[in-house]
Amino acid sequence: MAELKNQHFVPRAHFRPFSAGGAGKAINLYLIEPGRPIFGAPIKGQCARDYLYGKDGRIERLLGMLEGRYAKLIRDLTEPLYRLDDTDQWLLRYFTLLQSHRTAEQIARGLTRMEEMASFFRKAEEAHGQQWDPRHDPTEHRVMTELMLSFNEQMQERILDDLKVVIVRNRTARDFVTSDDPAVTTNRWLLQRKRVRIFGTNAAGLIMFLPLGPRLLAMNYDPAVYSVAATGRSGMVDLTRELDVLAFNEHQYMRAAEAIYFHRSEEAGAIAAEFDAAKPWRPSAWDSFRVARRDDGTDTHSRFSVGDPDEVARANEILFHLAREWPFPPRWPSILRFRANAHGFTKGRTIVRRAYMVASSAERSVYRRVT
């Protein structure tokens, strides 16, 4: 399987439109550390690791099939009269979701989450005279497997089918950039209006986008919460303000682990300055893991108190909570507007889309509409 040894977590098809002359050979990048640009770097070695998806090549081949369809669509979108059909929209929704799961940075974050959890439960078992099973130790392979299973489960449940898809055409003098973690998940409604920073792909107000090249970007959004003007039947919208380009690019600056990738060398200085300006919004941690011990309660209710993990580990009844937290960007693109009747459905603190209740067969009577 030597031919499948070098496995990309951001596919070469994604980098091709950003490459020199669109040839897919060389690309410009800004290295976050030490903070300098590199011009004309070979694409072949970018965002790749040996046997990232395993040595049998099975996952790599499956991904390759999806990447081939993605590459063809990117070429089709350069045709002036091309219009998105239902198959194209499905591909853009779920390729964006897949890309959000498969990067080295996502594996690293997942490994950190699992190691923190494993450390706590190892202490809890030892505190109760039990022996930790080393087979439960987290590994990169286990994290990747869980990420791929999560993607497959969400795809099978068609969790994103209700999102509207538009192609954003960049008509400004500035380019879109991309990164080593390019698929963005965010939620303007929850972050800005509800002050909620923890959510998932079932959330009302979800936004997912992926740069397709310096001039194109795919955006998936909850149509019950947002509207995008002038898309018409083409499924495309023109971007004419450079501040809107910056609003999209800032998500790449906030997410990138090691590198920002860009098309034109003359933009290197501006990208370096914009990245530095976005540093305050880069998360110091993407996840929170909290543990609590039961300290009171009644026949029908229990009360738990958050405490020091070493002390909580010795308790007989333990509650733990793992959540992903998302950055709050400094600005949002003006083309994405709130609907007057923006709404979701809630049960407690979770605010979800109607499609989630249908997909999960949730009991709708326990949910209430929230605006």
Query: Could you tell me which residue, 86 or 63, shows the higher pLDDT?
Result: 86
In the chain, what percentage of residues exceed pLDDT 90? 49
The predicted pLDDT at position 359 comes to 57
Whether 226 shows a pLDDT value over 60: the answer reads yes
Tens-digit pLDDT profile for residues 280-300: 999 887 776 677 777 766 666
Whether residues 72 and 179 share a domain: the answer is: yes
Do 178 and 48 have their domain in common?
yes
Same domain for 276 and 292, yes or no, is no
Mean pLDDT over residues 89-103, rounded?
Answer: 92
Q: Report CA-CA distances (Å) from 370 to 18, 72, 326, 345, 354.
A: 41, 40, 22, 6, 11
Say if residue 207 is in the same domain as residue 305.
no
The reply to whether 14 and 103 lie within a common domain is yes
Same domain (yes/no): 94, 219: yes
Tally of helices (H runs) and strands (E runs) in the chain: 10, 19
Per-residue pLDDT at 143 exceeds 60: yes
Instruction: For residue 32, give the DSSP letter.
Output: T
Q: Are residues 281 and 293 in the same domain?
A: no
Poorest-confidence range of 12-26, 38-52, 74-88, 166-180? 38-52
Indicate if 218 and 172 belong to the same structural domain: yes
pLDDT, position 347: 76
Asked whether residue 254 is assigned to any structural domain, the reply reads yes
**What average pLDDT does this structure show over 216-244?**
90
pLDDT given at position 358: 64
In a domain, 38, yes or no: yes
% residues pLDDT > 70 (the chain): 90
Spatial separation of the C-alpha atoms in residues 216 and 182, rounded to whole Å: 13
Cα 155 → chain centroid: 15
The rounded distance, in Å, linking the Cα atoms of 327 and 250 is: 11
Q: Cα(283)–Cα(328) distance, rounded to whole angstroms?
A: 9
Residue 129 lies in a domain: no
Residue 168, CA distances (Å) to 53, 181, 209, 238 in order: 32, 19, 10, 6
Mean of the pLDDT values across residues 239-264? 96
102 domain-assigned: yes
| Confidence grade of residue 308 (pLDDT, cut at 50, 70, 90) | confident
State whether residue 179 is helix, strand or coil.
strand
Domains held by the chain: number: 2
* Same structural domain, 235 and 300: no
pLDDT value of position 368: 87
Output the pLDDT for position 1.
44
Residue 93 has pLDDT above 90, yes or no: yes
352 vs 356, residue with greater confidence: 352
Do 237 and 304 sit in the same domain of this protein?
no
Which of 272-286, 309-323, 336-350 is predicted with the least confidence, judged by mean pLDDT?
309-323
In a shared domain, residues 331 and 307: no
The residue range of the domain holding 314 is 288-322
Asked whether the beta carbons of 254 and 327 are under 8 A apart, the reply is yes
Q: Domain for residue 349, yes or no? A: yes
Q: How confident is the model at residue 230 (pLDDT cuts 50, 70, 90)?
A: low
Residue identified by tokens 């669109």 is: 22
Q: Are 244 and 197 in contact (CB under 8 A)?
A: no
Residue 256, pLDDT score: 94
Task: Look over the chain and give the mean of its residue pLDDT values, rounded to a whole number.
Answer: 86
More confident residue, 299 or 213: 213
What's the average model confidence in pLDDT over 192-201? Answer: 88
Both 214 and 303 in one domain: the answer is no
Q: Is the pLDDT higher at 245 or at 135?
A: 245
**What is the structure's pLDDT at 212?**
98
Asked if residue 272 has pLDDT above 90, the reply is yes
Q: Are 24 and 16 in contact (CB under 8 A)?
A: yes
- Asked, for residue 130, whether it belongs to a domain, the answer is no
